[in-house]
Structure 1
Amino acid sequence: MKDHKPIGQTKGVGFQVGVRKTFAVDRDKLWAFALSKKGVELWFGNVAVDLPYHTPFNSKEGMEGLITTLQEGSHLRMKWKKPDWEHFSMLQIRVIPAGDKAALSFHQDHLTDENQRAEMKAHWISIIEKVGDCVASL
């Protein structure tokens, strides 16, 4: 009998989770919102609007980040750490065109276990809902 692998466990990067939602707004507007002051405060906390590329940064709430990949209008990948964590995870934020709409996707890996995966799934679902409230008026 094969061993059962827990949901979200990967072979090489610990646990992962992804949350995605499509909004009735085009890709450019959704990307601009995600990287605006209000958008960044939702998913990272209070930090300078112009997120530095390849330079560590922190939010006033204690989050730590380092953008490692930035494809303008498409996605960014970053090291991301909550204040109470001892390790960094990898977070990818992607805006995916879908006709005259666009999807916002949060994908996070290098999570330590099922509990951290569940915590982050709930976190990103909450963030996606808040984004929906904000982009409805765009």
Structure 2
Amino acid sequence: MDDLSLALQVALGNQKNWKDGCVAWVESRDSQCGKKRSEGFLCSRHISVAKRRAEARAAKLEAYQARKKIFHDKHISEWRERLDGVEAELERRTGVLTTDRAAYGGVGTPAIARHNQRQFSDSNVERVGELIREKESLESKIAGVHGA
């Protein structure tokens, strides 16, 4: 780790406000350590503390990633099934009933006209919005973007 990354493990505040000496925050004194810097921004004692914290954070992140992968592997098939259902319902609610241009130009069957009007009803528009949000959520879960 570089000096700044180590210092950020134990220091508080903006880097511009760090004083001379060790920048590690000592809670019992409620102030910066201030001892002579041995390496980078920290004294020798706080370098070891910062390294321990960095290792602990890395181990915690690795454990989290392992749990996330197990969860993802366990649920991916049901997410894919649900995504197929959502896409089918979206197609049914927003898809064009016919590609016959005459049906949209005023010379069509009443069933097609009713279908086209029904697509813009408040309840259908609301449901399509819900389906689009669910589809985006499922796609990001399948891609492994979401924290599980």
Per the normalisation by structure 1, the TM-score is 0.26
Q: Which has the higher strand share?
A: 1
Larger relative contact order (C-alpha < 8 A, sep ≥ 6)? 1
Per the normalisation by structure 2, the TM-score is 0.25
- Structure with larger Rg: 2
